[in-house]
Chains A and B, each alone.
Chain A
């Protein structure tokens, strides 16, 4: 902040505000920071056992942030921690990428081809309400390795959401755009690539953002269920589980916060790609 004061005082030459500066002057950013700091302070104060030996209900049972922080400093140098991070992230992105790769074309086909829709939409709708975790036992039986069954369940978690979003988005494209393009001489292929695809892009990104959240949930649950160990396993889900079984509560909380951060980074990544690839939505 000292820099800010200086550069504005020098001021004979108008200083162009950098992007970072603009961000720092953004009120909603500061509100977010204040809320976060407030939350941590509240947690710190309430989880200390200072009150004549009586804990604050609920929150008093949780280790304070300072303790979690100390734990984290220790864990930070464990290779196992980073390996867990890596394993979960890799699983999430593999499942997510597969779901996009298959889900987007599948959703588009459902949207543009009546025969395809007549055949594949009913079974799709029957399978869609089944929660991803209900697939776990069946997929463990079906797939030869645990790793594969985690991957499959992860894929499913994102797949249904992606397809439904793509289908809805493509079906909702204003018929006026298609008519205008047809009037100007568009072929079926032109209509697909120049109208339907860009018109569906916003829904593709909505599906991706929601799907990303679901894949994280599914991967972690899958890792907890699989119990880690020899084949497959590991990952942040297993990290939390083993901390619960044999470690400290602080360690569990470190695992939870790590997941929060990883999830936040992944969805920021999706949002960023969305903003870059849809400049028309980044207006004003």
Chain B
């Protein structure tokens, strides 16, 4: 598949993530709320796996577990066969809210990690950081502070800051949410190119179905809470991807399938009411394209 062309990935091997009956909930006794139960998923190396589920279903909870910011109550998460014991620069997360340090310029933000660890220094570091910032289109903004950048630029700066660490896995948690429609589309296109010539293992979280289909190799549809995997849909749209593919009948079938699943799950959460209105809703969804 798309993984033959990843010449540009240098030091990094690609990660396999295995989640084995992972559970995580919050609170005690009467306050207890199960968020994730018996979650099984393998993220294949070099693939772009997209998790799609309604807001509040536990996507960020999952991300925190894989990133090592939080730990499962039962089950285990393995990266290349080894259990995750905490955060590490083999896994880089880009969150919805910008986590660029406001007191550092774009350049300083990008070199933050390698400088801390001392694994890249001097001219090598400078070159790599400059190349990456150029790649994300920020060569003119290296000395600007995050607050001086637009939302889209901040996202790209964050991508550069993550990539300089050569992570085995990139985790993106609704990274383009909150951008205006235009920048969002541009960012999706930019990101898909970046993935296609990087071939890094990617886990992308979103609540937007179109975005999910546009990006994904594998689309993981999450169930209603307590969350587990409802279904995995292999997205066989050819790469490189472009937006025209979204209007193809193939894409439309994917969209319809994912929507039906999500809608079923949403209704379960709603108390499984109104079968009739469900039908009407699905019809209204499927009318749109030619």
Contacts and interface: CB of A to CB of B under 8 A. Distances in A.
Interface in B86-115: 86-89, 91-93, 95, 97, 99, 101-104, 112-113
A184 B88 CA distance: 6
Contacts of B134: none
B67 A179 contact: yes
Given A195-B101, A280-B147, A183 B67 contact: yes
A contact residues, range: 20 to 34
Contacts of A278: 103
Contact of B116 (A176, A190, A199, A201): A190
The 3 closest A-B pairs by CB, nearest first: A184-B113, A176-B99, A280-B145
A176 B87 contact: no
Contact of A201 (B88, B92, B99, B103): B103
Nearest to B165: A184
A9 to B, nearest CB: 36
A249 B15 CA distance: 81
A144 interface: no
A82 interface: no
Given A183-B67, A183-B92, A194-B116, A280 B87 contact: no
B85 to A, nearest CB: 13
A176 B97 contact: yes
A119 to B, nearest CB: 27
Interface residues of B, number: 25
Contacts of B99: 174, 176-177, 179-180
Given A198-B103, A280-B145, A283-B147, A183 B117 contact: no
A174 B97 CA distance: 10
Interface of A: 174, 176-177, 179-186, 190, 194-195, 198-199, 201, 278-280, 283-284
Contacts of B91: 183
Contacts of B104: 280
16 contacts: A174-B99, A176-B99, A177-B101, A179-B69, A182-B87, A183-B68, A183-B87, A183-B89, A183-B92, A184-B165, A185-B113, A195-B101, A199-B101, A201-B103, A280-B102, A280-B103
B241 to A, nearest CB: 28
B95 A176 contact: yes
A260 B21 CA distance: 69
Nearest to A185: B117
A1 to B, nearest CB: 35
A279 B145 CA distance: 9
Given A176-B99, A185-B116, A280-B102, 10 more contacts: A177-B99, A179-B69, A179-B93, A180-B101, A184-B89, A184-B112, A184-B113, A185-B117, A201-B103, A280-B104
A220 to B, nearest CB: 36
A240 to B, nearest CB: 42
Nearest to B97: A176
B145 A283 contact: yes
B148 interface: yes
B62 to A, nearest CB: 15
A278 B117 CA distance: 25
B122 to A, nearest CB: 19
Interface string B210-232: 00000000000000000000000
A250 B48 CA distance: 79
Nearest to A180: B99
Nearest to A280: B145
A198 B108 CA distance: 14
A136 B188 CA distance: 65
A184 B99 CA distance: 12
Contact of B148 (A179, A182, A283): A283
A183 B147 contact: no
Nearest to B109: A180
A183 B93 contact: yes
A281 to B, nearest CB: 9
Contacts of B88: 183, 185
Interface string B56-100: 000000000001110000000000000000111101110101010
A281 B68 CA distance: 32
B34 to A, nearest CB: 23
